[in-house]
Amino acid sequence: MARIAYHDVDAEAFAATRHLTDDALTAWRAAVARHLAPRAGMRLLDLGAGTGAWARAFTDWFPDVEVVAVEPSAAMRARCAFAPLVAGDAGHIPLADGSLDGAWLSTVIHHVPDLAAAARELRRVLRPGAPVLIRSAFAGRHEAITLFDYFPEAVRVLDTYPGVADVASAFADAGFGAATVEQVPQVTASSLWEAAAGLRREAHTPLQLITDAEYAAGVQRLREAAQADTGPVIDALDLLVLR
Q: How confident is the model at residue 21, as a pLDDT?
A: 85
Q: Decide: 39 and 16 in contact? Cβ < 8 Å.
A: no
Q: How confident is the model at residue 179, as a pLDDT?
A: 87
Cα–Cα distance, 109 to 20 (Å, whole number) = 20
- Kindly give, in sequence order, each residue whose CB lies less than 8 Å from that of residue 34, ignoring residues fewer than 6 positions away: none
* DSSP code, position 126: B
Q: How confident is the model at residue 102, as a pLDDT?
A: 98
Q: Decide: 68 and 44 in contact? Cβ < 8 Å.
A: yes
Neighbours of 113 (CB within 10 A): 12
Cα–Cα distance, 106 to 54 (Å, whole number) = 8
| pTM for this model (two decimals) | 0.93
Q: Which amino acid is at 135?
A: R
Cα–Cα distance, 59 to 193 (Å, whole number) = 31
Length of the chain: 243
Please, what are the domains in the chain? 8-141+161-187+236-242 (3.40.50.150)
Q: How confident is the model at residue 24, as a pLDDT?
A: 87
pLDDT along the chain (243 residues), means of 10: 59 62 91 97 97 95 97 94 95 98 97 97 97 97 97 98 97 93 96 95 95 98 93 97 96
Q: Is the peptide bond before 84 cis (omega within 30 degrees of 0)?
A: yes
